[in-house]
């Protein structure tokens, strides 16, 4: 019995991995910079919504998050303009919504709280992902935020007087 359960889980994971990389990238996501940052924004915002709505039924949490994530209200803090991000987010969900729903169910079932980095690697960048970002590519908005933080830290350091 346990062998069958393990085999079923393995086949489910294998089929999910095969499906993610098999779909053609929509024309709205042909720009690699936009595709990567749209995936980053979508996963970051969905993860935050999933964590905030803890306590509700999982299927409802997923539906609510995916139905609302592509609004400009959620996508203002990213590098590209909110209208561009909304269009890219919508194209991403139109193409890979089912796969993202499955991933969210897997990562949040049983009251678990997934980590945004795990979801980003699994959905956006990993070998079995939708491959929105190259393995060696830092997420554009995360890079900008890191650089800003470093600049602020430098500006706050006391200056050595000679």
Condensed to tens digits (0 to 9), the pLDDT of residues 130-160 reads: 999 999 899 999 999 999 999 988 888 876 6
Torsions phi, psi for 22 (to 5 deg): -85, -25
Report the predicted TM-score, pTM, of the whole model to 2 decimal places.
0.81
- Provide the token pair at 95: 């193409």
Q: How far is CA 25 from each of CA 29, 84, 96, 137, rounded to the nearest angstrom?
A: 6, 16, 10, 18
What distance separates the 2 farthest-apart alpha carbons in the chain? 75
pLDDT of residue 96: 97
State pLDDT tens for residues 65-118: 999 999 999 999 999 999 999 999 999 999 999 999 999 999 999 888 889 999
State pLDDT tens for residues 8-61: 444 444 444 444 557 899 999 999 999 999 999 999 999 999 999 988 899 999
The answer to whether the beta carbons of residues 34 and 98 sit under 8 Å apart is no
Q: What does DSSP assign to residue 77?
A: T
């Amino acid at each position: 019995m346990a062998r069958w359960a393990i085999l079923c889980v393995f086949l489910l994971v294998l089929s999910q991995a095969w499906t993610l990389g098999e779909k053609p990238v929509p024309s709205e996501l042909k720009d690699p910079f936009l595709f990567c940052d749209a995936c980053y924004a979508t996963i970051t915002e969905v993860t935050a919504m999933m964590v905030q709505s803890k306590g509700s039924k999982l299927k409802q949490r997923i539906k609510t998050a995916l139905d609302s994530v592509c609004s400009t209200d959620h996508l203002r803090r990213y590098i590209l303009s909110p209208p561009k991000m909304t269009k890219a987010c919508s194209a991403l969900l139109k193409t890979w919504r089912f796969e993202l729903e499955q991933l969210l169910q897997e990562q949040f079932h049983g009251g678990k709280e997934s980590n945004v980095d795990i979801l980003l690697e699994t959905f956006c960048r990993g070998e079995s992902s939708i491959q929105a970002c190259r393995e060696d590519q830092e997420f554009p908005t995360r890079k900008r935020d890191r650089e800003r933080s470093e600049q602020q830290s430098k500006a706050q350091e006391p200056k050595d007087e000679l």
